[in-house]
């Protein structure tokens, strides 16, 4: 019985590992220039709306690039975003662009990054 439980747990663990690997590969298929273009389109349409969240953004990336197969890995997308921001900041430092403020280009938040204030606001008079 314990052997069956262990093999089921091992299979689930392996499936999770495979899904993570596929999501990482999917994120790697999106080049920085394509990523930035898709981010800017999503930001223009969704910032400030209920769909301005990381889960919806990852779904949008898959919709925009169905060839990647699965939603891209959140961590890899964060790193890609950080890379793009760094490139823009470097271009600004080199006076190759007139202005750039990284604060104007936030990633959609994750549920962990929303903060307690947002949850309390959503709760209304319950607390």
- Parent domain of 94: 2-126
Q: Kindly report, residue by residue over 11-38, the tens digit of the pLDDT.
A: 899 999 999 999 999 999 999 999 999 9
Tell the burial category of 103 from Cβ atoms under 10 Å away from its Cβ (0-12, 13-18, 19+). exposed
Tokens representing residue 106 in the block: 């936030």
Number of domains in the chain: 1
Global pTM value: 0.80
For residues 24 and 45, give the distance between their C-alpha atoms in angstroms, rounded to a whole number. 26
Q: Kindly report, residue by residue over 76-117, the tens digit of the pLDDT.
A: 999 999 999 999 999 999 999 999 999 999 999 986 655 556
Tokens representing residue 47 in the block: 């910032």
């Amino acid at each position: 019985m314990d052997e069956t439980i262990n093999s089921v747990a091992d299979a689930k663990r392996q499936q999770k590992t495979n899904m993570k690997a596929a999501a990482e590969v999917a994120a790697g298929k999106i080049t920085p220039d394509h990523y930035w273009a898709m981010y800017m389109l999503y930001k223009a349409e969704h910032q400030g709306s209920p769909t301005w969240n990381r889960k919806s953004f990852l779904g949008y990336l898959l919709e925009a690039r169905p060839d990647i197969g699965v939603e891209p890995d959140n961590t890899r997308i964060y790193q890609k975003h950080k890379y793009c921001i760094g490139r823009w900041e470097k271009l600004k430092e080199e006076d190759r662009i007139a202005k750039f403020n990284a604060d104007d280009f936030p990633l959609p938040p994750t549920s962990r990054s929303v903060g307690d204030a947002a949850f309390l606001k959503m709760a209304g008079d319950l607390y």
